[in-house]
Structure 1
Amino acid sequence: MEERLAYTEGAEQPIAMHPKKFALWLFIVSVVMIFAGMTSAFIVRQGEGNWLDYNLPGILWFTSGIILLSSASMHWAYQSAKNDRIPNLKIALSLTTLLGMVFLVGQWYSWVALVANNVYFVGNPAGSFMYVLTGLHAAHLISGVIFLIIVLISSFRYKIHSQRMNTIEMCATYWHFLGGLWIYLFVFLLLNH
C-alpha cells in the first residue's frame, strides 16, 4: 500500500497551457509555414530565369530598425506589467503601438519607392514576390497593432498587472514573432537579391 501511495505522490503534472496561448502558437506555426513556403517558392522561381533584379528600397533598413525598437519597447511593457509598474506599462505599450504604425507607414513608402523604380506587382516575378512577402507581413502586422491597441486599452482599465499576465504574454509573443519574421524576410531579401 505504501508503494502505491508513494507512486501516486510522485506522479508528474501534465504540461498545461492556456487554450488561447495554444491557439496563438498554432497560428504562429501556420504563419511560419506560409512564409517558409513563400521564400522557398521565391528561390525556385528565381532559378527559372526571367528574373529582373532591382535595388531594395533603402527605407527597409529604417523599418527594420523600427521593428527592433518596437520589440525592445514591448519587452519593457512586459517587464513593467510583471513588476506592477502600470504607468511604465502604459507608456511602453503606447510606444510599441506607435512604432508598429510607423513601421507600416515605412512599408507603404517602400512600395512607393518600388513604383518609382518601375518595379510593379505584375511583369517582374521578383517585384511580385517583394509585394507579396511585404504585403503579407504587413497584414499580419496590422493584426499585431490591433492586438496592441486592445492590450493598451486593457492597461488603462488596470486589467493588466502581475496577477493578470496572460494577455500581455500573448501579445508580446506575437509581437516578437512578427519582429523576428520581418528580420528573417529582410535578411532573406538582402541575400537573395
Structure 2
Amino acid sequence: MPSTITPPEIDRHRISDGNNGHRPPTDKRTGGNGEGDGDNWNNRPRGHRGPHERISQARIGLFFALGGDLMFFVALISVFFVTKASGHFDAYDHFINSWLPTAIPSILWLNTIALLLSSVTAEIARRAMFREVDAMDEWFGLGRPVSYRAAIWLSATLALGLLFLAGQWVAWDQLAAQHVFFRSNPSSHFFYLITITHAVHLFLGIVGLIVALAALKFSRSLATRQVWVDTTVWYWHVMGALWIFLFLLLEFGQ
C-alpha cells in the first residue's frame, strides 16, 4: 500500500507582525476572551516571551510590591485597636481612656462612591484591551480600536480618582474647621494617618493611570500597552478594596 505523508502543521500564531514575532495577545490566561488551551504556549522557542508571560510576571511583581504595603496597613490597624483600648488609672483608681471618636465627614461617603465607580471604569478599560477580535486587528496594525476604547475608560477612571482625592482634601479641611487636627486626639491622629497614607498610595495609582494613557497613545507594542493597563488597573482595584475596609473601620470601628 502507498504510504501517506501528512504535511507538517503550520503554527499560525508565529506569523511575524511587527511585534517581535510574539504570539497574538488573545490567550484567555492574559485576562482576554480567547477560548481553549490548545495554543501550544509551551512549545515556542526559548527566549520568546509572549503577552501571557509578560503580564504574568508584571502581576507577580505588582502583588509582591503590594505585599509590603498591605503589611504596613495591617500593622497600622493593629495599633489603631490597641490604642483605642489602652488607657490608665488615675489617683482615684478610675480608668481613663483619652480616645474620643472622630466624627467622620459625610463627604467620605461620596468619595467612596466615586472610588467604586472608578474601579468599574478601570475594569471596563482592562477588559477592553483583551477583546479578541479588536485586539487581533490592532496586533496586525489595522488601527487601534482597543487602545482608543480603553483610553476613554481610563480617562474616566483618572477623573474619578482625582475627584476622590479632592473630596479627601475637603474632608480634612472640614475637620480643621472644627478644630480637629492631627494631634487633637488619638482618634483624629489615626484618621489623618490612615486617610493621608491611603491618599498617597492612590496618588501613585493616578501616576500609573497617566503612564498607562501615555503608553496607549505612544507605545507601538500592543503587548506593552496591555501590560501597563492590566497592572495599573489591578493596583487600582487593590487600592479601592483597601479603602472600603479603611472607610468601614473609620466609620464603625471607633
The two structures have a TM-score, normalised by structure 1, of 0.86
- Paired with 1:111 and 1:81, the residues of 2 have a C-alpha distance of 37
Aligned equivalent of 2:187: 126
Mapped partners of 1:50, 1:37: distance in 2: 21
1:30 pairs, out of 51, 57, 68, with: 68
Counterparts of 2:115 and 2:252, CA distance in 1: 20
| Contact preservation (8 Å) 1:154, 1:160 | no
CA apart distance, 1:135: 0.4
Query: Where has structure 1 moved over 4 Å in runs of 4 or more?
Result: 16-19, 158-164
How far the C-alpha of 1:164 sits from its partner, in A, is 4.8
Whether 2:85 is the aligned partner of 1:44: answer: no
Q: Which has the higher helix share?
A: 1
Give the aligned partner of residue 129 of structure 2.
81
Query: Across the two proteins, how many residue pairs are aligned to each other?
Result: 179
Separation in structure 1 between the aligned mates of residue 196 and residue 160 of structure 2, nearest angstrom: 18
In the aligned structure 1, how far is the partner of 2:198 from the partner of 2:130?
Answer: 29
User: Superposition RMSD on alpha carbons, in Å?
Assistant: 1.9
The answer as to 2:154 corresponding to 1:106 is no
Does residue 191 of structure 2 align to residue 153 of structure 1? no
Deviation (angstroms), 1:20: 3.7
8 A contact 1:81–1:162 mirrored in 2: no
Q: Indicate which of 134, 141, 144 corresponds to 2:202.
A: 141
Paired position in structure 1 for 2:152: 91
Contact 2:128 2:149 in 1 (8 A): yes
Q: By how many angstroms is 1:157 displaced?
A: 2.2
SS where residue 82 of structure 1 aligns?
coil
TM-superposed deviation, 1:183: 0.4
Q: Structure 1: any 5+ residue segments left out of the alignment?
A: 1-12
Question: Could you tell me the TM-score, scaled by structure 2's length?
Answer: 0.66
In the alignment, structure 2 segments of 5+ residues that lack a partner are 1-41, 43-52, 87-96, 136-145
Structure-2 residue corresponding to 1:65: 113
Offset of 1:81 from its aligned partner?
Answer: 1.2
Question: d(CA) in 1 for partners of 2:182 and 2:205?
Answer: 25
Q: Deviations 1:46-104 (Å, cap 9, x if unpaired)?
A: 11120112310001000000100000000111111112433221110111111111111
- % same residue: 32
Cα distance in 2, alignment partners of residues 161 and 175 from structure 1: 21
Partner Cα separation in structure 1 for residue 117 and residue 204 of structure 2: 19
Which structure is higher in RCO with an 8 Å CA cutoff and minimum separation 6?
Answer: 1
Provide closer, same or farther for how the CA distance between residues 42 and 190 of structure 1 changes in structure 2, counting only shifts above 3 A: same
Rounded to whole Å, the distance in 1 between the matches of 2:222 and 2:110 is 33
Partners of 1:54 and 1:30 lie apart in 2 by 28
CA contact (8 A) 2:205 2:236 kept: yes
